Chains A and B, each alone.
Chain A
Amino acid sequence: GDSVTQMEGPVTLSEEAFLTINCTYTATGYPSLFWYVQYPGEGLQLLLKATKADDKGSNKGFEATYRKETTSFHLEKGSVQVSDSAVYFCALTEMKTSYDKVIFGPGTSLSVIP
């Protein structure tokens, strides 16, 4: 089946540093790709998404580009803040015949220190 691989964490950065969290996927079809964020003790929030090749999703200073040739969807932010500390999940929709199923990566924990 389809799957998602993320760089292992935890990742610790200083405030205002550049962030990259790598994400690659395997899929038989043509999935949509997502980044979700989970702040400590909270639920999942959709951060951004892209539905076709070369699409760039962006939100709150985060960006990710759907790269079909490298099957990647790396998350980037130019200058992180302490409030960005959270767990980030890369995900895709595995398309079944009549419905989509979201497949998640294992998550990458990010800690931003002042």
Chain B
Amino acid sequence: NAGVMQNPRHLVRRRGQEARLRCSPVKGHSHVYWYRQLPEEGLKFMVYLQKENIIDESGMPKERFSAEFPKEGPSILRIQQVVRGDSAAYFCASADSSGNTIYFGEGSWLTVV
């Protein structure tokens, strides 16, 4: 399966802990997107990254959230000091340089207790 791989699929964190979600894009893809789906809601754009660069972070909360896509390795979405409102499904997507088709991963479900 050469699709977008996300892990962990399910993550439970206590309030105040850190959550790290990883995304390995389709092989050869250099563009990564992160989306968040709150319970009973649609998907909201968070951030768009190319290798080593954040291009558009207009959907990222101003505090506690950060994302990176290093030259080597997966993209990481990091949430510090999690709160109950961070409980959601986080989806990663990737595209090649043409951007014609965007492929989504199966999501990571974060539960904050």
A binds B: yes
Enumerate A84-102 residues with CB–CB distance to B below 8 Å. 89, 93, 96, 98-102
Q: Write the nearest CB–CB distance from B51 to chain A, whole angstroms.
A: 13
Asked if B45 and A43 sit within 8 Å, CB to CB, the answer is no
Checking B44, B56, B95, B106 against A43 with a beta-carbon cut-off of 8 angstroms, the contacting residue is B106
Q: Which residue of B lies closest to A106 (CB)?
A: B42
Please give 11 more A-B residue pairs, beta carbons under 8 A apart, in addition to A43-B107, A99-B31, A100-B95. Answer: A43-B105, A43-B106, A89-B42, A99-B48, A101-B33, A101-B45, A102-B33, A102-B45, A102-B102, A103-B45, A104-B43
Q: How far is the CB of B60 from chain A (nearest CB, A)?
A: 13
The verdict on A107 contacting chain B, using a C-beta distance below 8 Å, is yes
Most B CB within 10 A of own CB, among A43, A103, A107 = A43
**Residues of B contacting A100 with CB < 8 Å?**
95, 99, 102
Q: What are 18 A-B contacts defined by CB distance under 8 Å?
A: A36-B104, A43-B105, A43-B106, A43-B107, A44-B43, A44-B91, A93-B102, A96-B56, A99-B31, A99-B48, A99-B56, A99-B99, A102-B45, A102-B93, A103-B45, A104-B43, A104-B44, A106-B41
The answer to whether B55 has its CB under 8 Å from any CB of chain A is yes
The reply to whether B107 and A44 contact each other, CB–CB distance below 8 Å, is yes
Which of the four size classes fits the interface of chain A?
A: 10 to 19
By a beta-carbon cutoff of 8 Å, the part of chain A in contact with chain B is 36, 42-44, 46, 89, 93, 96, 98-107
Interfacial chain B residues near A103, Cβ < 8 Å = 45
- 9 smallest beta-carbon distances between A and B, as pairs: A43-B106, A106-B42, A43-B107, A104-B43, A44-B104, A100-B99, A104-B42, A107-B42, A99-B99
B interface residue count range (under 10 / 10 to 19 / 20 to 34 / 35 or more): 20 to 34
Q: What residue in chain B is nearest A89 (Cβ atoms)?
A: B42
Name the B residues within 8 Å of A105 (CB-CB): 42
Could you give, for residues 39-72 of chain B, a 1 whenever the CB lies within 8 Å of some chain A CB and a 0 otherwise?
Answer: 0011111001000000110000000000000000
By beta carbon, the residue of chain A nearest B108 is: A43
CA of A106 to CA of B39 in the docked complex: distance in angstroms?
11
- Cα(A36)–Cα(B104), bound, Å: 10
